[in-house]
Amino acid sequence: VAKMGKLVEEAQNNKSKTQRYIDEIAKYYTPAVVVVAASLAAIPAAMRVRDVEKWYHLALVVLVSACPCALILSTPIAAFCALSKAATSGLLVKGAEYLEILSTVKFICFDKTGTITKGEFSVSSFKPLIHNDKLLY
């Protein structure tokens, strides 16, 4: 159980391509949002515009609505939840990157013979995707 926990922890520490991409964008997006919001507050104040409170309010609206928190936090949290759910279901996924790859898979074929879990070589069941009549030809 301890080894399984360690493997799950390692899987959660490995970032997927999407997570790395979001982190790279956040390096530029977050400062840009702060600069735009600060400019909306500072420039009218420096120009001594009459209704400065409206500009402060607009700066706060821009800062809150363009806040990258949802973008930056959603990807790692979704990956963490998926990896945790898989682990509690008895599945060990190496990382979020493999979950992203799985989303593009169209067909899956399983060959579960009990080799890993029981050490026995036997087919437990067989479920074809086509009718048995077509298998005869």
Q: pLDDT tens digit string along 1-27?
A: 576 677 667 766 777 787 788 888 888
Which residue would you say has higher pLDDT here, 78 or 7?
78
* pLDDT (0 to 100) of residue 102: 84
- For the chain, how long is the longest CA-to-CA vector? 87
Catalytic residue from among 23, 51, 111, 133: 111
The overall average pLDDT reported for the chain is 79
Region 123-131: mean pLDDT is 73
Do residues 99 and 82 make contact, with C-beta atoms less than 8 angstroms apart?
yes
pLDDT band per the 50, 70, 90 thresholds, residue 77:
confident
Q: Using one digit for the tens of pLDDT, what is the confidence trace for 49-74?
A: 888 899 999 999 998 888 777 777 78
Region 37-47: mean pLDDT is 90
* DSSP string over 27-90: HHHHHHHHHHHHHHHHHHHHTT-S-HHHHHHHHHHHHHHT-THHHHHHHHHHHHHHHHHHHHTT
Query: CA 126 to CA 116: how far, in whole Å?
Result: 18
Domain borders along the chain are 2-103
Compute the chain's Rg from CA coordinates. 26
Q: Is 51 a catalytic residue?
A: no
